[in-house]
Chain A
Amino acid sequence: MISENDRLEKNSLRSYPKGVDHTLNIIITTIMLAFGSCAVVSAEKPVDFAKEILPLLSDKCFVCHGPDTRKKDLVRLDSFEGATRDLGGYKAIDLKALSDSEIIVRMNDSDDPMPPENAEKQLTDEERKLIERWVKQGGNYAKHWAFVPPKKTSLPSKGHPIDAFVQKQFSEGVDFAVTANNATIARRLALVLTGLPPEPSLLEDFLNDNRVNAYERFVEQLLADPRYGEHQARYWLDAVRYGDTHGLHLDNRRGIYPYRDWVVRALNNNLPIDRFIEWQLAGDLHSKPTTEQLIATGFVRMNPSTAEGGVIPAEFQAKNNFDRTETLGTVFLGMSMLCSRCHTHKYDPITQTEYYQLMAFFNSTSEGPLDGNKYEYAPVIKVPKDQVSWNDWLKLTVERDELLSDAASIFNNVKSSRSDTKKKWSQSDEVARLAMVVDEKKEWKNNALSIYKDAKDLSKRIDNAQKSFTSTMIAKELDKPRDTKLLDRGEYNLPVGDTLRPGVLKVMGGLPEGAPRNRLGLAKWLTSRDQPVVARVLVNRIWQRVFGEGLVRTPEDFGLQGEHPTHPELLDWLAVEFQDSGWDLKHMLRLMVSSQTFRQNSAHRGELNDPENKLFARGPSFRLDAEVLRDIALWASDLLDPHMGGEGVKPYQPTGLWKALSHPASNTKNYKPDTGRMVYRRSLYVYWKRTSPHPMMTLFDAPNRETSCVKRSRTNTPLQSLGLFNEKQRVEIARMFAERLLKERNSDEQRLDLMFNLLVCREPNDQERSACNRLLNAMRKRYVNADQDAKDLLNTGEVPRDKSLNPTEHAAWTQVAATVLASDLALMLF
C-alpha cells in the first residue's frame, strides 16, 4: 500500500512544470492539484498568491530572501523550489507538515522572529495570518501576473467589451453613472483626443446631428484632426524624455526636434505602434532605411549627455547606456531596471547579468560618449525643417520618382543607349539617377528634351529645398560591436566576467525565432506575442490618458512591487485587442471613448466611497496638463498659431531665469524670446531646456525631461494661481480673448455665452452669469476713470490692442476673461 506521504512526494515531484529552467531565479507556476484536498483544512477562502502573497513577500521578505540572496544556505522565498528546499532539517514550506513550516514557526517566534526585530519592514498581524493561511493551504506559487502573457477571457456580458468588464466589478445595486450631456462629452472627447475644446462649428454639427452614429462621426473627425497627433505626441515625449538641450553641464542646444515632429506625424498617420517602436529602436538597421525611419532612431539618442571638461569617456559610455536601458524599462517594460544595474533585482526576477545583456543592445551605437557641446552631436542626418517643408519635400520626392520612372522607360526603349549608362543606372540610387538625367543629357536629350529640362529644374528645386534642411541626431551601429561586460556595482571601471551577448529578460519570453541579436531583434521581442508586458504597459497608458488614471495605478511599475490592476481581465483583453488590431492606437482610443464608462457623468458619487474612482463608476475628471491649459487659452483668444513642427519656440519668460543657473560658456544661457506668431504656437513646441524648462510648464507639473516620466503628478500650488493671473502671455491672452468677445458679439449676455461656449461648450448658469456680471460691472466702475490703468493692462504682450475699442470696456472684459480662464472651468477635464 502506498502511504499518504509517498503519494504526496510523488505528486510534488510531478508537479514541477516541464521546460522551466531551474537555475533561474524565476517564480514558477506550480500546480499542486494533489494538495487541494488535504491543504484546504478549513472552508476559508483560498488565498490568491499572485495578488495577496507575492507583493507581501516581495515587499517585506525578498530584501533578504529574494532573487538577490547571495548566501547559499539561506531560505529563498522567490520560488516554490526555494521555499520547499530542505535546509538541513527544516523547510520554509514543509509540504509534509504544512503547519510546521519554518515560515509559520519563525513568523510567530517571539524569541527569534521573522522578519527580525530590527528589520525596517515588519509584518502586520493580518499579514502574518494571511501568510499562515496561504502556507496551510499548500503554499502554492504562481507567476506574477504581469509575466504571464495576456489572454482574452470571454466577455462577461453583452454590449461594449469595456463596459462589460467594468460592470462586472460593480457590487450589487451599483450601476454606471448617468450619461453626461452631449456638450460635456464633446468637450471631454475633444480634450482627450486633440488637447483642445471642439471647434464651435464642429460642436454645433455634432449637437445637431440626429442621425445614428453621430458620436462615432464626431470621434472620427477629431481623430483626423492634425492636432490629434500633436496632443498624443506629448505623452510619448514625456516618456522618452524629449528635450531640446543636452541636459548635463553646459546644457547646450541639440539638434533633435525633427524627431518630435516625426512622432506627431507618425501618430497622425496612425503608424502601427509595433512599427512605431521598431523604427525608433532600430530604424537604421533596416536594409534601406527611409529618412523617417532614421529620424525615429532619435529615440536611441535621447539620453542626456555631457561634455564636461575632465569627464572620463568610458564613464559616460556606461552612464549613457544605463540611461537608455532603464528608460527602455520604464517606457516598455513598466519597471525600473535600476536595481539590477548594481545587483540582481531584489524584487523582480531580473539578474544583473540580464541587465547588462539588455544594455549590450545599446552599447554598439557609433556616437561618441561625449556630446562635445555640439548641436550636431554625430551621427546626424539632414532633414526638412518643419511640417510644411516636409510636405514640400515629399512632393519633390514623388515628382522625382515619377520623372525617373519616365526617364527609365524612355531610356530602356531606346536601342542606342549605351550599355555602361544602363549599368550605371541600375547601380545608382534616386539622387544619382536624377544627376544622370541632367549630366548625361545625350541619352535623353535626343529622345525627350522635356525630360532633361524637367530634371534640371527639379534638381534645382531639390537643391534649394535642401538648403533649408536642419540636422537631427540618429542612431547608427558600429561595424564591429563594442564588448559589453557586467560592471560590478555598476562601476564603469569594474568590468567582470566574459563578454556578454545582447539578450532579453528571460522572465518575459525569449527573442523571437530568427530575430537578430541587435536593436532590431530587441524591437521584435518587445512587440512579439510572447512578450507579456509591453502591450499591457502601453494600453494602460492609453487608458490613463483617456480616464485620468490607469487600470494599473503605477504605470511605471508592473513588477512585484507595483499595484495590481483594478480590472485585470479588462487590461488583458485590451492588451490582446491592441495586438490583434495590428497595434492600432486610433482603434484603441475609439474603443475607449465609445464606452459607456467614458461617457458617464463625472460627478463624484459619495455613496460609492470610491474617491479615486477605482471602480470607474463615474466619468473622468482631472486638472489638465500644463500644455493643454496654455493651448486652450491661446485657442479661445484666437491667438493660437497652427504652424506645425520646427525648432522649439520661446514664448515670453521672466528675464534672467536661464542666466541665473547657466554656465557662462553655455549657448542656452540667454533666453531670447521669439517674436511674431511663433510665440503663439502650441505648447508642444515650446523650447525644452532640460535644466530649466519654461516655468509655465513646470509650475503645472510638466517633467524636466531629464528622465522618463509616464505619469505626471497633478499638484495644486499658490504659484500656479500667480502664473495663471500674472504671466505676461496669460494677460495678453485675456485681453485678446476680451477683444474677440467685444468684436464678435454685441451684448454682455452674448459675450458671456460665447466665452462659456468656447471654454465649456455650454452657456453659463444663473450663478455663473451673475458672478461674471458682478465682476464686469465692478471693473467698469474701476476703469472708467482710470484710463491709464486700463491702457497699461491692455498693452501687456506684443500684439497691439485694437484702439477702436473702448479701453474701459476692453479692460473690464479682460479682467473677466482672465478670471474665467483661471477658473476650474478652463482648468479641468470633466
Chain B
Amino acid sequence: MNPLREADLMMTRRQLFGRAALGLGTAALADVFSPNLLGNTSSQVRGTDFAPKAKRVIYLFMSGGPSHHDLWDYKPKMREMFGKDLPEHVRDGQRITGMTSRQKTLPVCPSKYKFTKHENNDRGLWVSELLPYTAKVAKELAVVYSTFTEAINHDPAITYIQTGSQIPGRPSLGAWLSYGLGRLNENLPSYVVMHARSKFPEQSLFGRLWGTGFMPSEHQGVLLRSEGDPVLYLKNPSGVSGKDRRAQLDVLSALNNEQFKQFSDPEILARIKQHEMAYRMQTSVPELMDLSSESDATFELYGEEARKAGSFAACCLNARRLAERGVRNIQIFHRGWDAHGSLPREHESQCKDIDQGCYALIKDLKQRGMLDETLIVWGGEFGRTAYCQGGLTKENYGRDHHPRCFTTWMAGGGIKPGITYGQTDDYAYNIADADGNTIKPTKDNWTPGTMHIHDLNATILNQLGIDHRKLTYRYQGRDFRLTDVHGHVIKDLVT
C-alpha cells in the first residue's frame, strides 16, 4: 500500500474514532471503512415482503412496439384474408392513431414469415423464422400472448409500462426496485441501464424511464455507456493517475473529517463513503467492461457481435457479468421496433440484433446455474396492428400501434418454463378466451388469461419478493404504487 495513503488513513481513522465520544454510533463509524459497507447511505430502502424467487431482473425492452404478428403470435387464417378489410366486429371501436385513422381501408396483413412449432413444456410454441436462436430456448420461455395496455402512442405507452402512469412524474420500475431491494454490490451501481445499438433508432427514450419521479434521485438508473466513459465521468482527467486520486481522496477525507469535527453532521460521513465507493468503481467498472477474460465459447454463444461495444449481444453479455457481480436491476433498451412502413426490412434487422443475445443470455445463465434466480423479461410498450399501414404487398408492409394485445415473454426467476399464456383471436387483434371468443379485459379487474401491463409489473415485483400493493412511497399525501390501484400477480406464470 502506498505509505502516503496508509498514513492518511491512519490519521483519518484516529480522527474519526476521536469523535466517537461526540455521540456518533460506533456502528456507523465502523461502517466508514468497512470493506463490506453498503453503498446506499439512505434509509430509503424498504426490503422484501416475502422470500423472493428471483434475486435480480434483466429487462430486455424492445422500444417502439415489436410486431407480435411477425415474431410470436401465429395466425395462419389471416392469409386467407390478405388485403381484405379487417371485419368491423374485430376492430369494434378500438381507437386508431391519427396515422391510420384517415386510411380508407384497413387491409388485413398476414405475416410473410414462416412459423415453426417448437416443443416446450406445454402446448408447444410457434416462433417465426426471424428468431431462430430464441426458438431454441422455447423450453425456458413463458410466452404471454395477451399482454395489453390502454396507450396507443409511444411516449405515453412507454412511460406507462415503465412508470405505471402515462403522464411523466412517477418513479420508474427500476427506481421502485432500487427502493425496494437496495444493493448487493458496493462497488457497482445497483441499477444499471444500457442502450443497445439499432440501425433504426426511430423512437425516443426519456430520462424518466429510469428516473425517480418524486423519489430521491439516488434510485435512478445509472447508464452503462458504450461510448466514452462507461459510467459518466468514470475516468480520471488526462495526467491524473489512480494513485493521484487516492492521494486526493485521502486529503479530501481529512478535510471532510475536519468539517465533521465541527458540525457532527452524519451526512458528511455519508459523503466520505460515497467518495470511497466512487474510487472502487473506477476499478470495478473497467474490470466489468473488460471482456478479455471471456472464453471463445462465450463469443460462440453470444456471437461475434458481442465483441462490439454497444451491440445488443454485448449488452446481454454485460448483463450476465453485472448479474455475476451482484447487480440486481439491469435494463437493456433496444430501439427501432416502430415499423410503420417497411416492416420486413426493419424487423429483420432488429431481430438479427437481438435474437442470439436473448438466446445466449438464457443459455449462459442456465449453464452457470443462475437462471433460476434471474428473472428475464422481454417485451415492448405495445404490439402492432393486424392491418397494414400504407401500401400492402406480399413482400412489404407496415403496421401501426396496437394496444389491445401483444406478446411478451419471461424466463427464469421462478417463472414456469416452457409455457404459453393467454391467446388472441384469429387476427391477433383481440384477446380471446380458451374457446376463441373475444374478451375485453380492463385494468380494473383481472381477467384470467390476460396480462395488463400493471399485471406484468406486479408479477415482476412478486418474483423479487415484493408485494406490489405494499411497495408504496408517500408523496403529496398519497401512498403511490408502481401499479397504481391495479395490478394482479399472474399466478399461472409462477412456479
Q: Are B216 and A713 in contact (CB under 8 A)?
A: yes
Q: Are A656 and B206 in contact (CB under 8 A)?
A: no
| A661 to B215 CA separation, bound complex (whole angstroms) | 22
Q: Are A824 and B155 in contact (CB under 8 A)?
A: no
Q: How far, in Å, is A700 (CB) from chain B's closest CB? A: 8
Which residues of B from 233 to 262 have beta carbons under 8 Å from A?
Answer: 233-241, 244-245, 247-248, 251-252, 254-256, 258-259, 262
The yes or no answer to B476 lying at the interface (CB within 8 A) is: yes
The yes or no answer to A512 lying at the interface (CB within 8 A) is: no
| A654 to B263 CA separation, bound complex (whole angstroms) | 36
| A819 to B282 CA separation, bound complex (whole angstroms) | 17
Q: How many residues of A contact B (CB 8 A)?
A: 106
The yes or no answer to B283 lying at the interface (CB within 8 A) is: no
Chain A's closest residue to B270 (CB) is: A716
Chain B's closest residue to A826 (CB) is: B255
Residues in A with CB closer than 8 Å to B154 are 249, 308
| A825 to B253 CA separation, bound complex (whole angstroms) | 11
Q: Mark A230-266, 1 if CB is under 8 A from B, else 0.
A: 0000000000000000011111000000000000000
Chain A's closest residue to B166 (CB) is: A319
Q: How far, in Å, is B370 (CB) from chain A's closest CB? A: 26
Interface segment, one of B84-92, B195-203, B391-399: B195-203
Interface segment, one of A160-168, A600-608, A634-642: A600-608
Q: Are B153 and A604 in contact (CB under 8 A)?
A: no
Q: Are B208 and A706 in contact (CB under 8 A)?
A: yes
The yes or no answer to A12 lying at the interface (CB within 8 A) is: no
Which residue in B222, B234, B254 is a CB contact (below 8 Å) of A726? B234
Contact A768 to B263, CB < 8 A, known contacts A310-B99, A654-B232, A692-B207: no
Q: Are B476 and A335 in contact (CB under 8 A)?
A: yes
| A778 to B212 CA separation, bound complex (whole angstroms) | 41
Q: How far, in Å, is B179 (CB) from chain A's closest CB? A: 12
The yes or no answer to A790 lying at the interface (CB within 8 A) is: yes
Which residues of A from 813 to 830 have beta carbons under 8 Å from B?
Answer: 815-816, 818-820, 822-825, 827-828, 830
Q: Are B477 and A348 in contact (CB under 8 A)?
A: yes
Contact A248 to B400, CB < 8 A, known contacts A339-B478, A606-B23: no
| A707 to B212 CA separation, bound complex (whole angstroms) | 12
Interface segment, one of A205-213, A514-522, A717-725: A717-725
Q: Are A715 and B264 in contact (CB under 8 A)?
A: no
The yes or no answer to A623 lying at the interface (CB within 8 A) is: yes
Contact A765 to B258, CB < 8 A, known contacts A666-B204, A726-B234: yes
The yes or no answer to A322 lying at the interface (CB within 8 A) is: yes
Contact A825 to B238, CB < 8 A, known contacts A713-B217, A716-B41, A716-B271: no
Interface segment, one of B111-119, B223-231, B372-380, B405-413: B223-231
Q: How far, in Å, is A170 (CB) from chain B's closest CB? A: 20
Residues in B with CB closer than 8 Å to A250 are 204
Interface segment, one of A412-420, A568-576, A792-800: A792-800
| A719 to B271 CA separation, bound complex (whole angstroms) | 11
Q: Are A824 and B255 in contact (CB under 8 A)?
A: yes
Residues in A with CB closer than 8 Å to B347 are none
Contact A335 to B225, CB < 8 A, known contacts A719-B233, A792-B239: no
The yes or no answer to A779 lying at the interface (CB within 8 A) is: yes
| A182 to B50 CA separation, bound complex (whole angstroms) | 55
The yes or no answer to B275 lying at the interface (CB within 8 A) is: yes
Q: Are A311 and B228 in contact (CB under 8 A)?
A: no
Q: How far, in Å, is A473 (CB) from chain B's closest CB? A: 19
The yes or no answer to A33 lying at the interface (CB within 8 A) is: no
| A622 to B273 CA separation, bound complex (whole angstroms) | 17
The yes or no answer to B211 lying at the interface (CB within 8 A) is: yes
Contact A824 to B478, CB < 8 A, known contacts A306-B155, A603-B263, A660-B195: no
Q: Are B233 and A726 in contact (CB under 8 A)?
A: yes
Q: Are A819 and B259 in contact (CB under 8 A)?
A: no
Which residues of B from 267 to 310 have beta carbons under 8 Å from A?
Answer: 267-268, 270-271, 273-275, 277-279, 281-282
Q: Mark A100-131, 1 if CB is under 8 A from B, else 0.
A: 00000000000000000000100000000000
Chain A's closest residue to B203 (CB) is: A663
Residues in A with CB closer than 8 Å to B213 are 707
Chain A's closest residue to B201 (CB) is: A664
Residues in A with CB closer than 8 Å to B214 are 556, 707
Interface segment, one of A71-79, A390-398, A558-566: A558-566
Q: How far, in Å, is A638 (CB) from chain B's closest CB? A: 20
Interface Cβ pair total, 8 Å cutoff: 278
Q: Are B234 and A823 in contact (CB under 8 A)?
A: no
Contact A559 to B205, CB < 8 A, known contacts A306-B155, A717-B218, A815-B240: no
Chain A's closest residue to B263 (CB) is: A603
The yes or no answer to B1 lying at the interface (CB within 8 A) is: no
Q: Are A561 and B470 in contact (CB under 8 A)?
A: no
Interface segment, one of A13-21, A428-436, A769-777: A769-777
Q: How far, in Å, is B481 (CB) from chain A's closest CB? A: 10
Q: How far, in Å, is B391 (CB) from chain A's closest CB? A: 18
Q: Mark A569-609, 1 if CB is under 8 A from B, else 0.
A: 00000000000000000000000000000000011101000
Q: How far, in Å, is B394 (CB) from chain A's closest CB? A: 26
Which residues of A from 497 to 525 have beta carbons under 8 Å from B?
Answer: none
The yes or no answer to B436 lying at the interface (CB within 8 A) is: no
Contact A698 to B207, CB < 8 A, known contacts A339-B478, A606-B23, A715-B217: yes
Q: Are A604 and B476 in contact (CB under 8 A)?
A: no
| A668 to B168 CA separation, bound complex (whole angstroms) | 19
Residues in A with CB closer than 8 Å to B265 are 604, 621, 828, 830
Contact A793 to B238, CB < 8 A, known contacts A312-B98, A725-B248: yes
Which residue in B99, B204, B228, B233 is a CB contact (below 8 Å) of A661? B204
Which residues of A from 280 to 333 have beta carbons under 8 Å from B?
Answer: 304, 306, 308-312, 319, 322-323, 330
Residues in A with CB closer than 8 Å to B232 are 654, 695, 699, 719, 722-723
Q: Are A779 and B247 in contact (CB under 8 A)?
A: yes
Contact A656 to B202, CB < 8 A, known contacts A312-B95, A604-B263, A793-B238: no
Residues of A within 8 A of B (CB): 120, 247-251, 304, 306, 308-312, 319, 322-323, 330, 335-336, 338-339, 347-348, 554, 556-557, 559-562, 602-604, 606, 611, 621-623, 654-656, 660-664, 666, 691-693, 695, 698-699, 701, 704, 706-707, 713-723, 725-728, 731, 765, 767-768, 771-772, 774-775, 778-779, 782, 786, 788-796, 811, 815-816, 818-820, 822-825, 827-828, 830
Closest 3 pairs between A and B when the two form their complex, measured CB to CB: A561-B477, A310-B97, A793-B239
What are 16 pairs between A and B in contact, CB < 8 Å? A249-B155, A306-B155, A309-B99, A311-B97, A338-B478, A560-B477, A602-B263, A654-B225, A666-B204, A691-B208, A693-B207, A716-B274, A721-B275, A723-B233, A767-B258, A816-B251
Given pairs A336-B475, A554-B477, A695-B233, 4 additional interface contacts (CB within 8 A): A247-B168, A723-B233, A725-B278, A775-B247
